[in-house]
Amino acid sequence: MGHIYEDYYREVRDSKGEIVEIKTTCPPNFNFAYDVVDRFAFENPDKLALVHRSAEGKETRLSFGELKRLSDKAANTFKKLGISKNDSVMLLLKRRYEFWISILALHKLGAIAVPTSHMVSAEDISERAMVAGTKAIICVNSESICDKVKEAIDKNDIIQIVVGDKYEDKADFNELIAGESDVFERVTTSIDDSMLYYFTSGTSGAPKAVIHDYSYPIAHIFTAKNWHGMNDGDLHLTVADSGWAKSAWGKLYGQWFLGAAIMVYDYEQFYAADLLKLLEEEKINTFCAPPTIYKYLVLEDLKKYNLNNLRYATTAGEPMPKEVSQQFTSQTGIVIREGFGQTETALQICTTIEQSSFPGSIGKASPLYQIKLMDEDGRIVPAGEEGEIVIVPNGNRKPIGIFKGYLGDEKMYEEVWSGGVYHTKDKAIMDKDGNFFFLGRNDDVIKSSGYRIGPSEVEDILMKHPAVFECAVTAFPSKNRGAVVKASIILNKGYEANAKLGTELQDFVKKRAAIYKYPRIIKFIDKLPRTSNGKISRAKIRQQDYKKALEHC
């Protein structure tokens, strides 16, 4: 008998052994919770599925058998509370293991899970609850979260379930499920029913609510198998809060499809040394984290840790500075392989475990998609030319893993599908071997004196300078040039912000890139504007600069 994932996923390889196509099978009533998790529970109930380490160091280990039992209990509980098929339920559960029990229970019920970051404000919760028509909120019992929820839902009639001890008179998750039956009768869901609403990171503007259907998990088999590089029985760690799509990429579907276990590290405050200790102690096999985490990891002495079990390291979500990548590799011997994708899609571009990583490249097109680069006139551009990353559908069916709409914003959905292709709004260049190089978001590309400058290239150079810890390159308004390049820079400890260093940094870029790319404006700062999941928001810097320029006009 083959592996479970093989019922849904088949690689077609050419004579050189390279994957040329991936054939996926989406049975009309496929439901990840029953057909993958419960099937493992049936075939091998003691198989490890999740290891959770709390902030206090308490460890909880759950097998697939326990996940089935607990998610059945939770599904029965939710049903009794009045949650049923197509109801939307917001999950504000940070990294509590109850998140995984809850989301599986919601999948079983056919309800729509809305994983949400705990960083959002009461106003965001209220707005999102309205957009999503939220029927219930399951949240962590911490004052900061419960108070926000209270403020947000006082105005609405929403069921509230709390994880942890009781909060005021609200129902306690574990108390509720304890007395419930652990047998739940299957609810039939259809492959194109809505399963998830995920909010985007809000890097370029207000976060959008992305709708995914029941086929979405199948698209992540490739993510876990070919990019993260995991095998059945591995332990994988992705650093991400449960509220972001990164969590679906790295701590849920693909991993469990493959029979790997996920490590959940439930820290309150991030310390690089603690994470490294965890990688060593838990013998993590495959690891994924956003670039910012690696920026902190490489400040530690990585050689001090025994990372012998770690086979692979990956990153996505933001430009990865080459310098940071190189430092990590030189200390660990592991090459960080990048991936590119969006909340709206699965992994679009990456370096798989079978490909060699090209320095500075985000990788090659995933065989799940036909990825092309397109110019502003809608023409596909050849290798070596800049274009927007687009996905060209194969026939009529929506490519697997791609969202089915923005909740409450059909116009935006039509816009991103204009001309019959999916527009990522990100710019890249591809070389003749199919390696993609990220230039920036459409709006972040700087147009100066007729030249087009991708912020990533300039940031990469600046990051090579020993004084620079982090930076963001943006367009700054200029009467003569349209815009000039501005670099906002956070310095490493021990460096002093002064004009001399500014000139040195400008010369540093001038020597390494075309002259028009050097930052005419350097600003030393202590903090960069970020989204609530930690991404640098170049849009915010730009907006402030343009606003100021207007005021001075």
Pick the closer one to ligand ATP by CB: 65 or 401: 401
Pick the closer one to ligand ATP by CB: 229 or 259: 229
Annotate each residue in 200-219 with x if it binds Mg ion (CB under 5 A) or - if it does not, as one string.
x-------------------
Please report whether residue 436 would count as binding ligand ATP according to CB under 6 A: no
Site for ligand ATP in 161-190 (CB under 6 A): none
User: Residue 426 touches which of Mg ion, ligand ATP, none (CB < 5 to 8 A by kind)?
Assistant: ligand ATP
- Single out the residue of 243, 319, 367, 454 in contact with ligand ATP (rule: CB under 6 A): 319
**What is the rounded distance in angstroms from the CA atom of residue 109 to the CA atom of residue 86?**
8
Please report whether residue 204 would count as binding ligand ATP according to CB under 6 A: yes
User: Residue 319 touches which of ligand ATP, Mg ion, none (CB < 5 to 8 A by kind)?
Assistant: ligand ATP
- Single out the residue of 189, 325, 343, 448 in contact with ligand ATP (rule: CB under 6 A): 343
**What is the rounded distance in angstroms from the CA atom of residue 180 to the CA atom of residue 71?**
11
CB of 201 to Mg ion, least distance (A): 7
Sign of CA dihedral 496, 500, 505, 511: negative
**What is the rounded distance in angstroms from the CA atom of residue 53 to the CA atom of residue 59?**
5
Cβ neighbors of 257 (< 8 A, separation 6 or more) are 4, 5, 8, 9, 36, 217, 218, 220, 221, 224
CB of 339 closer than 8 Å to CB of 227:
yes
Please report whether residue 201 would count as binding ligand ATP according to CB under 6 A: yes
Please report whether residue 290 would count as binding ligand ATP according to CB under 6 A: no
CB of 488 closer than 8 Å to CB of 541:
yes
Pick the closer one to ligand ATP by CB: 118 or 535: 535
Pick the closer one to Mg ion by CB: 235 or 248: 248
Please report whether residue 441 would count as binding ligand ATP according to CB under 6 A: yes
Pick the closer one to ligand ATP by CB: 118 or 481: 118
CB of 537 to Mg ion, least distance (A): 12
Pick the closer one to ligand ATP by CB: 5 or 422: 422
CB of 200 to Mg ion, least distance (A): 5
Encoded amino acid at 271, one letter: Y
Total interface residues for ligand ATP by CB under 6 A: 23
CB of 523 closer than 8 Å to CB of 497:
no
- Taking the C-alpha atoms of 494, 498, 503 and 504 in order, what is their torsion angle to the nearest 10 degrees? -10
* Inter-CA distances, 63 with 109, 117, 228, 280, Å: 21, 26, 22, 22
CB of 124 to ligand ATP, least distance (A): 13
DSSP string, 123-157: HHHHHHHHHHTEEEEEEE--HHHHHHHHHHHTTS-
Question: Which residues on neighbouring strands pair with residue 51, listed in sequence order?
Answer: 61, 263
DSSP string, 488-518: EEEEPTT----HHHHHHHHHHHHHHS-GGGS
Of 59-67, 201-209, 301-309, 513-521: span binding ligand ATP (CB under 6 A): 201-209
Point out which residues bind ligand ATP (CB under 6 A): 200-205, 207-208, 316-319, 338-340, 342-343, 362, 424, 426, 438, 441, 535
Point out which residues bind Mg ion (CB under 5 A): 200
